[in-house]
Amino acid sequence: MNQPTMSEGTDCVGLDLAASLNAAGEAAYCWDISSDRLEWSANAPSFFAAVGDAVPASGRTLAGLIADNASSRHDMIMNDTARPGPEGAVFTMQYRLKRTSPSTGWVEETGRWFAGADGKPARVMGVVRAIDERHEAEEALRILSEIDPLTGTLNQNRLLSLIDQEMIVSRREKRHFALLLASVDNLSTINAGLGFSIGDEALKAVTARLSSNLRGRDSIGRFTGNKFAILLRQCDASEMAIAAQRFIDVTRAQLVTTSAGPVTVSLSVGGVVGPRTIASSRDLLAEAHEALSEAKAKKRGLFIPFDPQASRSQSRRADGRVGEGLIKALNERRIALACQPIVHAGSRLPYSYEALMRVEGEDGDTLPPGLLVPVAERLGLCGLLDHRVLELGLDLLASRPDTRISVNISAQTTSDREWLSILASRLVSREDMANRLVVEMTESAAIQDIQESVRFLEQIKSLGCRVAIDDFGAGHTSFRYLREMKVDSVKIDGSYISNLANSPENQIFVRTMINLARELGIRTVAEWVGCEADALLLESWGINYMQGHFFGEAIQSDRLLETPLARCA
């Protein structure tokens, strides 16, 4: 069959073929809609040969070559609401020609349509261009922006977008959906024992098991390192429970085969039914995470649905408001230090100061630390606060060469290399500050990961600073761990010191603790000393230092008096 070409005897007279081919780089056409006749530029055979097709002689034939939705090209032009002028109405579309591979045959079509007497499209002039390479690059970018590279599931951003969309649809159609947050319980153990590459293999195996048990309308994505979020559309509470148990069972049904040998994996799941009155996907995920935390606290391999009690929701919203306030205070630099003296036993002269964080509210009042710290821990903000406290503490040491201070760190900071890097860089130019700085870690933070704590404290000591365990006794840590961590001092938990003179049980405990620390060469600090009677008892037992409102309240660091500090013994 001869190729239909553009000629001066058709309605397509006036088409500047050379200019079109220059602009498009491939093939130009003219389409008479009433007759459905397509005429092509002379190079059209080479264009369609590249995708393995003959030159289509009609719009209907071209539609038959288009994959997926053959009517989309015709409908897009015929249903265009644009009002064409003398130069026609511009359009652009992309589609894929039917080929054996879905990655080839992508075409971009651009052109103008011209209206007939009835105002509807009557004639189309345009060009087609093969865009396989460009489409492949665009698709790669889309995948990078939406897909988790390790598991091949959706990433967090894409998943949040889908959840937000489902909330809108479910409200409009008055139906339910469920969101599950599933955690691979023992991934950290696999990573620590066999290496992260084996952990990745286990994670991909779990992904495959979960994905194979999804319904066609459901979605799964990797939420964080060991957690998956699963969106179950058109799903109520009872169906959510059944699905969650199915995911738990299929995960632990068989050992996971890895290059290091078979490993066992288990899954804990929290779930929530939406949309209810939840405002956003992040709020919904917060509820699912709360349920997951409850499941993991009770037993591994368990499913717990979220219980929307008003008190818990109010508490979570209150945490959110406090967290926003903390972030704002950080940005507006409304965080300062208040310094409480730590005195020598015997002379009771100030030896050093504990630099305590204070947050100024927007109204100028100081916010209660007892409220802020627990919220910061729940929201994962302690690391940011630790950075600010370190910065302020080092500035204080630099401005007061006669002052010793101690700063507190959270468990989150023990794995923060940037915090250590900042400390090290500041000490390079001021080595004198190192022996005037004590870094305090609470006992509860230290015992979360003893080995991690040991490594972290060793690095601090290598810089010339001292380290102390705060609130010692609250977690009943063995003194053996103190030896491993090579601490310079322990601060005995204030609950044992407060009203010490009237508590024989606490007296036995504190005296024993002081004696054991002395045998290990570790100095002791008593916190919360509130009266002369308690101070005298502690001094008689050989306590090294004391701290509490009896010796002075915490004051703003810029108001520190020029008090001479006692020498280190």
CATH of the domain at 460: 3.20.20.450
Q: Is the domain of 289 the same as that of 331?
A: no
Q: Is the domain of 236 the same as that of 366?
A: no
Q: How confident is the model at residue 104 (pLDDT cuts 50, 70, 90)?
A: low
Establish if 37 belongs to a structural domain: yes
Name residues whose C-beta falls within 8 Å of residue 492's C-beta, 6 or more positions apart in sequence: 472, 473, 510, 513, 514, 524, 525, 526, 527
pLDDT at residue 405, as a whole number:
96
Q: Is the domain of 202 the same as that of 98?
A: no
Establish if 8 belongs to a structural domain: no
Q: Is the domain of 431 the same as that of 504?
A: yes
pLDDT at residue 160, as a whole number:
87
| Residue 186: pLDDT over 50 | yes
CA angle 111, 21, 65 (to 5 degrees): 60
Q: Tell me the pLDDT tens digit for each residue of 169-178.
A: 999 999 999 9
Give the whole-number percent of the chain exceeding pLDDT 70.
Answer: 87
Establish if 426 belongs to a structural domain: yes
| Residue 378: pLDDT over 60 | yes
Q: Tell me the pLDDT tens digit for each residue of 497-508.
A: 988 999 888 898
Q: Is the domain of 196 the same as that of 67?
A: no
Establish if 12 belongs to a structural domain: no
CB 151 within 8 A of CB 222: yes
| Inter-CA distances, 367 with 4, 373, 406, 432, 434, Å | 81, 11, 21, 33, 31
Q: Classify residue 434 by its DSSP letter.
A: G
- The residue out of 283, 308, 333 marking a domain boundary is 308
Domain that holds residue 347: 318-556
Q: How confident is the model at residue 456 (pLDDT cuts 50, 70, 90)?
A: very high
- The residue out of 105, 138, 171 marking a domain boundary is 138
The more confident residue out of 380 and 16 is: 380
Establish if 313 belongs to a structural domain: no
| Residue 541: pLDDT over 90 | yes
Angstrom distance (rounded) from CA 268 to CA 554: 45
Q: Number of folded domains in the chain?
A: 3
The more confident residue out of 338 and 283 is: 338
Q: Give the CATH number for residue 85.
A: 3.30.450.20
Region 431-447: what's the mean pLDDT?
A: 89
Q: Is the domain of 191 the same as that of 99?
A: no
Q: Is the domain of 131 the same as that of 269?
A: no
pLDDT at residue 353, as a whole number:
95
- The residue out of 285, 308, 331 marking a domain boundary is 308
Q: Is the domain of 346 the same as that of 460?
A: yes
Region 403-410: what's the mean pLDDT?
A: 94
Q: Is the domain of 174 the same as that of 112?
A: no
> Tokens 């109520």 sit at which residue?
236
pLDDT at residue 431, as a whole number:
85
pLDDT at residue 564, as a whole number:
46
Q: Quick one: which of 156, 131, 134 has its CA closest to 145?
A: 156
Q: Which of 43-52, 170-179, 222-231 has the lowest mean pLDDT?
A: 43-52
Token pair of 276, please? Answer: 């209810």
Angstrom distance (rounded) from CA 100 to CA 79: 31
The more confident residue out of 431 and 546 is: 546
Establish if 5 belongs to a structural domain: no
Q: Is the domain of 368 the same as that of 258?
A: no
| Residue 32: pLDDT over 90 | yes
pLDDT at residue 169, as a whole number:
92
pLDDT at residue 19, as a whole number:
44
Region 310-322: what's the mean pLDDT?
A: 68
Region 358-371: what's the mean pLDDT?
A: 84
Q: How confident is the model at residue 24 (pLDDT cuts 50, 70, 90)?
A: low
| Inter-CA distances, 488 with 141, 354, 413, 455, Å | 53, 15, 19, 15
Q: Is the domain of 70 the same as that of 175?
A: no
| Residue 1: pLDDT over 50 | no
Establish if 527 belongs to a structural domain: yes
Establish if 227 belongs to a structural domain: yes
| Residue 50: pLDDT over 70 | no
Q: Which of 177-186, 202-211, 379-388, 544-553 has the lowest mean pLDDT?
A: 379-388
pLDDT at residue 416, as a whole number:
86
pLDDT at residue 452, as a whole number:
84
Give the Cβ contact number of residue 323 at 10 Å: 17
Q: How many residues does the chain have?
A: 569
| Residue 279: pLDDT over 80 | no
Question: What integer best gives the mean pLDDT of the chain?
Answer: 84
User: Which of helix, strand or coil describes residue 256?
Assistant: strand
Give the Cβ contact number of residue 299 at 10 Å: 11
Give the whole-number percent of the chain exceeding pLDDT 90.
Answer: 43
Token pair of 102, please? Answer: 């879905």
Q: Is the domain of 330 the same as that of 302?
A: no
Give the Cβ contact number of residue 176 at 10 Å: 17
| Residue 15: pLDDT over 60 | no
Q: Give the CATH number for residue 271.
A: 3.30.70.270
Angstrom distance (rounded) from CA 355 to CA 438: 10
